[in-house]
Amino acid sequence: MSPRSPSPTPDLRQRILDAAERLIETEGLAALSMREVARRSGVTHQAPYHHFADREAILAELVVRGFDELASRLARANDLSPAVGRMEAGIASGLAYVGYAIDHPGVFRVMFRPELCDVTRYPQAQQAGTSAYAELERLVAGIHGPALVASLSMVYWSQVHGLACLIVDGPVGEQLPDADERRAFARSVLEPFARQMLATPPQG
């Protein structure tokens, strides 16, 4: 009688995800494969299939991770508002968003690329994205009042997402390879943006 294969464990699942994230961050998305993730996790090449149907399923879980962490960073920035005021809270929120992209550029790219991971096929990933956006809406409501949430949330998102992309994949990142320099640059952009946005009086 041949020995039974060990049943999949939650620990193995996390090891696979951790290996996949390290692979994306260090070598790029093109390096990600089920076989390579298995090798780096120290398991047989079939082991990842006990937890993930395919490569996209791994990416979907990394998207969930990414949005969950982004939402947590945005929530912490929002919670600062009573102590530091609307302007500093707005800057902190922008830095939280851009900071996530600086810290996790590989996963950040996947989070917003449906051709790489179609989140409409993964409800948990969709929900994680919705939760992160809800923190952006909470920021806008706190700064401008509920009446302007729908329109101004997109303005804020466009600003921080565009800035993040310029830093991670654009000319800004080429000029500023150091993470601390990138954060300082982000703040220098976000401060005048916040001042301009605060010229819009609260409504609602």
HSE value, Cβ hemisphere, 13 Å, CA-based, for 157:
16
DSSP string, 55-119: HHHHHHHHHHHHHHHHHHHHHHHHHTHHHH-HHHHHHHHHHHHHHHHHH-HHHHHHHT-TTT--G
In a domain, 1, yes or no: no
Rounded Cα distance between 106 and 136, Å, is 22
Answer yes or no: do 64 and 13 share one domain: no
Look up residue 105 and give its two tokens.
Answer: 């550029």
- Who has greater pLDDT, 3 or 68? 68
Answer yes or no: do 43 and 135 share one domain: no
Answer yes or no: do 84 and 34 share one domain: no
Rounded Cα distance between 62 and 47, Å, is 18
Answer yes or no: do 32 and 60 share one domain: no
In a domain, 47, yes or no: yes
DSSP state of 45: T
Answer yes or no: do 97 and 134 share one domain: yes
Domain of residue 36, CATH code: 1.10.10.60
In a domain, 186, yes or no: yes
The domain tally of the chain equals 2
Answer yes or no: do 111 and 139 share one domain: yes
In a domain, 25, yes or no: yes
Answer yes or no: do 37 and 69 share one domain: no
Answer yes or no: do 174 and 107 share one domain: yes
pTM, full prediction: 0.90
Most confident segment among 2-6, 82-86, 141-145, 182-186: 182-186
Answer yes or no: do 170 and 75 share one domain: yes
Answer yes or no: do 16 and 83 share one domain: no
First to last CA, the chain: 73
Look up residue 103 and give its two tokens.
Answer: 């810290």
In a domain, 24, yes or no: yes
The residue range of the domain holding 189 is 55-197
Answer yes or no: do 62 and 162 share one domain: yes
Answer yes or no: do 69 and 155 share one domain: yes
Go through the chain and tell me how many residues it has: 204
pLDDT, tens digit (0-9, with 9 covering 90-100), for 94-126 = 999 999 999 999 999 999 999 999 999 999 999
pLDDT, tens digit (0-9, with 9 covering 90-100), for 141-178 = 999 999 999 999 999 999 999 999 999 999 999 999 99
Say if CB 35 and CB 45 are below 8 A apart. Answer: yes
In a domain, 59, yes or no: yes
